[in-house]
A = this chain, B = another copy of it.
Amino acid sequence: MDNKKATIKDVASHSQVSIKTVSRVINNEYGVSKITKSRVLNSIKALDYNPNKAAQGLRSKKSFLIGLVYDNPDKFYLSDIQSGVLETCAINGFSVVLFPCNYQKSELTDELIEFIKKTNLDGLILTPPISDMKELVKNLQLEIPLCVVSPGLLTSNPLWVSSDDFKASYDMTCHLINQGHRDIGFIKGHKGHGATQHRLDGYLNALSDNNIKIDDRNITEGDFSFDSGEIAAKKLLKNKSPKITAIFASNDAMAAGVMKAAHKAKINIPDKISLVGFDNSPTASQAWPSITTIGQPIKEMASYAAQILIDNISNKSEKKNVNKTFDSELIFRESVRKI
């Protein structure tokens, strides 16, 4: 076996061409005849040559690194995001550098800037709730392209992917109404998270459109965590004056919290109270009874986000309108009863 790694020079002399020609082949540039190209490709295989990323990066001022920024307690969500980004980046020869963080930390912006500089990133992906921190995005003053995933609010950033949280939430609420529910409790997320408002609005609009009066006592706030769901459920189940027959939790983690609260209080789901969540996380399918919820193509979204970011980095696409909103899907399970 070869003792050392083959370099572009070795390939060049092996295939009797200049190193520049090899470089052209590697980078799929014009100006290489088919014959030469195949000869070079053969040599590359024969010598088991892999371009040295450091050298490529040094010369072409790229790092082939994309940063993925997140602060999300939902490990399932995160896992999907990571897989999506990872796969697309791998295909395109990029590596992913993770940046977990705390969105409430005041130094976050500075840390992020520091990170980008140190790591020499070629591009950055922001996921919720970071994607909704307008101030941060503004202050980043990026010289590299940025893609924002699921920004709740309108974003000024040219690159984004998003999901139709409003419609999904609207449809789910209609579903509950169709099942005969009129007193529907709602557990919203915390401020600052873009999804919070959309999901709430979907619920509110569905009620209005069905001529159901909105009762503020039916709406309570969580922070997308299991515990906050349990606490919110206790409140909703205590304020029994408005006789709730169903609860719509803004995500599955909180829905699972609701389920625990119900179990504790010996309130049967779905007999006494129907329950729906949002996210289609394993939590929802593994609960007992399994929880009706809303599925979103998280991994696909992440993958798409990475793709448009990479296209932008490579200037491959000058096309506009690459941004995309992905459809959600209602997933019916055991936690809803018709009344």
Please report A residues at the B interface, Cβ cutoff 8 Å.
48, 50, 52-55, 57-58, 63, 65, 75-76, 78-79, 82-83, 86, 95-98, 100, 117-120, 226, 256-257, 259-260, 263-264, 282, 286-288
A78-B98 Cα distance, complex, nearest whole Å: 14
Q: How many copies does the complex hold?
A: 2
- Closest residue of chain B to A253 (Cβ to Cβ) is B286
Question: Could you list 21 A-B pairs, sorted by A, with CB under 8 Å?
Answer: A50-B117, A50-B120, A52-B58, A53-B54, A53-B57, A53-B119, A53-B120, A54-B55, A54-B57, A54-B58, A54-B63, A58-B58, A65-B95, A79-B79, A82-B100, A95-B119, A226-B282, A226-B286, A257-B286, A259-B288, A260-B287
A55-B257 Cα distance, complex, nearest whole Å: 51
Instruction: Decide: A50 and B86 in contact? CB cutoff 8 A.
Output: no
- Closest residue of chain B to A93 (Cβ to Cβ) is B118
- Closest residue of chain B to A286 (Cβ to Cβ) is B226
A6-B256 Cα distance, complex, nearest whole Å: 52
A263-B65 Cα distance, complex, nearest whole Å: 48
Q: Which of B48, B75, B98 contacts A96 (CB 8 A)?
A: B98
